[in-house]
Structure 1
Amino acid sequence: MRAVVRNGVQVFIDDGYVNDLRDRKVGVVTNHSGYYPGRGHLIDLLIENGVKVEAIFTPEHGLRGLLPAGESYSDESYKGIPVYSLYGPRRKPPVNILKELNAVIYSIQDVGVRFYTYISTLYYTLEAAGEAGVKVIVLDNPNPLTGTVVEGPILEAALRSFVGIWSIPIRYGLTAGELAMLFNNEANLKAEVEVIKLDDWRRGMWFDETGLPWVKPSPAIVDLNSALMYPGIGLFEGTNVNEGRGTDEPFRVIGAPWLNNVKLIDEASQLGLRGVDLTPIEYRPLGTGVKYNGEECRGVEITVKDRESLRPVKLAFTLIYLLSRIHPREFKFLEHDGVYHFDYLVGRRGVRELLMGGKLDEALSIIDEGISEYMKGIRGYLMYY
């Protein structure tokens, strides 16, 4: 029998925390994932319980979670409440608006990956709240990829950006609540933070063991396997290889019109990759802004066989190394004005050059650098065991 975990919204409503905010003015940082299974969205439940929702702030993909990756959008309204976009020219809740509130509630389901931008929105929410002197209440959600497996590289400070807001590993092994406490303390954001903890969640749980229904956190994270592969295959967003966007299997296929998929699979099979099967596939990605839109691609389908042993970042490094060998002319890292998006995703300078230079072992060793120290450093932020 599967365990039944209660998310932070359920605990907040059922256990009476919401009563402390009755007749109080609050702002809510959320999207479609801030919900009570079977009962509805957090915003509606707050209003039903007499909370004065004065402002809503929304991350990448918008309030409904339907907008494509990277697409900025404008402010709107929901039931007469102003909705402020935090994915456009503005990335941080306006301090002057927060100063008029009694509290800010944060409730967004992320995927436990550093370059998934919801956690950058969390960081800026804490920063703005610290400046405004308003309390932040984080309604926690499970880390879909468990809280036990961590995979680097750890971000170097020089590469901080909206796809890498703090020096943590790519797969960082914390819930949003735990991460909020780390951000607030390590970055000295000076916010007052309260975390409404999950009920009955344990660190070793995958999302499909929680009993909670899967709601796509964003359009391309269609299921748990897409989320699991995202820490690695998401790095292909910095290359000219399609990462499965525009297909029914985002982050579970890679391909390009010029890719020799049979040779790639053959060479990969000799490197002892763990946890996956690779099979050749032909597909045609479709969608605005996707790589090779409408073109026939030869690719590789990645099937998860053992998620406990799978290390998606190591898999991605290996595939990129092989692609650079098999297709030295065709394969490229995307560059604009001398800036490589891959560097910001991977979080370490030099990895790109090592992979292109045939130094796979050196690149793989960077993944593990500093992880033992990181694991020791986060002990004080852990809320679940």
Structure 2
Amino acid sequence: MQDIGTRFYTYIGTLSLCMQAARENDLQVIVLDRPNPIGGIKIGGAIPSAADCGDLVSIHPIPTCHGMTVGELAGLFNDQFGIGCRLSVIPMKNWKRAWYFDETGQKWVNPSPNMKTLEGAFLYPGIGICETLNLSVARGTDHPFEMYGAPCMDGSRISEEMSHLGLPGLEFFPVDFIPTASGHPFRGQVCHGVRIEVTDRSIADPFRAGLHLVQLFQRLYPGQIQWRKGFDALAGDRTLWRRLITEQEDPASILAGWEKPLEQFREVRKKYLLYSE
């Protein structure tokens, strides 16, 4: 099971449900571990409350970016969240936590149809929340989750304003694209928007970029770019839309408010880590 390191990428939710079903039927679960494509060190984002968990995008209260492999998560789920199934994890050989997928020597195979690049996987935890707005995340193109736009947008204006923020490790460029994925916004229409290029993964912060993008889209296009159901659930913070849009809170303040729970999670996860840096 090839996960991409993001809580709301639903494969780990499916894993948890399989583990629960196995316990109920006295079956063993065997997890053949795979690399976390975006590495096993960085964690970030909000941690949903236990009351807000249970669906596939927030199966358990863990950060959006958890920095664990599926095998490590299976151990954590089984113990910390009381699943208690008969679990066996077959670990990888020679994998290092600090590695991104392009450092493993393995060929990238799309884990799902629209997760086509490591860059998209890297940006997804922080900027994937844009998918709950009525805009395109470039599904059906060669670079989904690296481009964001809509027919009404001005890509030059957006890229200029995002560039002026000086976000380390990221660059922003105007782009036109035509999404082709069925069931998603603006299929077959020309969308104008922004392309995000990761120039330094060691300092880039997709969460900060994602919060700024949502604020910018709402400021520039308040009657056209709207919230769709699921924004707070995907983000893992039921207050986020109110704070970010209604109250116009600085994204830096929001990120700072997530830090204490993240530090607590760092301590909890230590006993389940299977690999060194």
Deviation of 1:159 after TM superposition, in Å, equals: 2.2
Structure 1: gaps spanning 5 or more residues: 1-107, 335-339
The answer to whether the aligner puts 1:355 opposite 2:244 as a matched pair is: yes
Alignment of 1:129-144 (within 5 A): 129-144=22-37
Decide whether the 8 Å contact of 2:8 with 2:57 is kept in 1: yes
Task: Please say if 1:208 is aligned against 2:102.
Answer: yes
Displacement of 1:214 after TM fit?
1.3
Aligned to 1:179: 73
Matched residue type, 1:352: W
Which residue of structure 1 aligns with residue 233 of structure 2?
A: 344
State the structure with more CA Rg. Answer: 1
Cα distance in 2 between the residues matched to 1:343 and 1:131: 31
| CA distance in 1: counterparts of 2:258 and 2:145, whole angstroms | 20
The amino acid that maps onto 2:35 is P
Aligned to 2:263: 372
RMSD, aligned α-carbons: 1.3
Residue 369 of structure 1 and its aligned partner are, at CA, apart by: 4.0
SS of corresponding position for 1:237: helix
Work out which structure has the larger RCO, using CA pairs closer than 8 Å and 6 or more positions apart in sequence: 2
Once the two structures are superposed, residues 145-171 of structure 1 have per-residue CA deviations (whole angstroms, 9 ceiling, x without a partner) of 110010111122232221110100011
- 1:122 paired to 2:15: yes
Secondary structure in 2 matching 1:171: coil
Report 1:36-47 matches (<5 A). none
**Which residue is equivalent to 2:165?**
271
From the two aligned structures, give the one with the greater strand fraction: 1
AA at the equivalent of 2:104: T
Spell out structure 1 runs of 4+ moving beyond 6 A.
Answer: none
| Counterpart for residue 154 of structure 1 | 47
Q: Any gaps of 5 or more consecutive residues in structure 2?
A: none
What are the equivalent positions in structure 2 for 1:21-170 lying under 5 Å apart? 108-160=1-53, 161-170=55-64
Equivalent residues of 2:8, 2:58 under 8 A apart: yes
- How many angstroms apart in 2 are the aligned matches of 1:238 and 1:275? 25
Deviation digits for residues 272-294 of structure 1, max 9, x if unmatched?
Answer: 21211100011221231121112
Aligned counterparts, 1:181-260, within 5 A: 181-260=75-154
Following superposition, the deviation at residue 262 of structure 1 comes to 2.0
Q: Offset at 1:368?
A: 2.6
CA distance in structure 1 between the aligned counterparts of 2:256 and 2:107, rounded to whole angstroms: 37
Tell whether the 8 Å contact from 1:324 to 1:355 is kept in structure 2 after alignment.
no
Q: TM-score, normalised by structure 1?
A: 0.69
Letter in 2 for 1:154: I
Q: 1:266 to 1:369 in 2, by over 3 A?
A: farther
Task: Note the C-alpha offset of 1:223.
Answer: 1.7
Tell me the CA shift for residue 314 of structure 1.
Answer: 1.6
Q: Which moved more, 1:121-130 or 1:256-265?
A: 256-265
Of 218, 228, 235, the match for 1:324: 218
SS at match of 1:371: helix
Question: Does the aligned pair in 1 maintain the 2:33–2:90 contact within 8 Å?
Answer: yes
Distance 1:155 1:272 in 2: 29
Secondary structure at the aligned position of 1:380 is classed as: helix
SS in 2 for 1:169: coil
TM-score of the pair, normalised by structure 2: 0.95
Query: Greater helix share, 1 or 2?
Result: 2
- Offset from partner CA, 1:232-259 (integer Å, 9 cap, x none): 2221111112111122110000001111
Query: Residue 107 of structure 2: SS of its match in structure 1?
Result: coil
Look up the match of 2:205. Answer: 311
Contact kept? 2:45, 2:126, Cα under 8 Å: no
Contact 1:153 1:367 in 2 (8 A): yes
* Deviation string, structure 1 residues 206-240 (Cα, Å, up to 9, x no partner): 11111122111000111211111111222111111
Distance in 1, matches of 2:136 and 2:254, equals 22
User: Is the Cα contact below 8 Å between 2:138 and 2:177 reproduced in 1?
Assistant: no
* Preserved CA contact (<8 Å) 1:153 1:369: no
8 Å CA contact 1:138–1:194 kept in 2: the answer is yes
Q: Which residue of 2 aligns with 1:289?
A: 183
Q: Cα–Cα, structure 1 residues 347 and 330, in superposed 2: closer, same or farther, change >3 Å?
A: same
Distance in 1 separating the partners of 2:6 and 2:261: 17
Overall identity of the aligned pairs, in %: 38
Distance in 1 separating the partners of 2:264 and 2:258:
13
Query: Is the 8 Å Cα contact of residues 154 and 370 (structure 1) preserved in structure 2?
Result: yes
- Deviation, 1:113, is 0.5
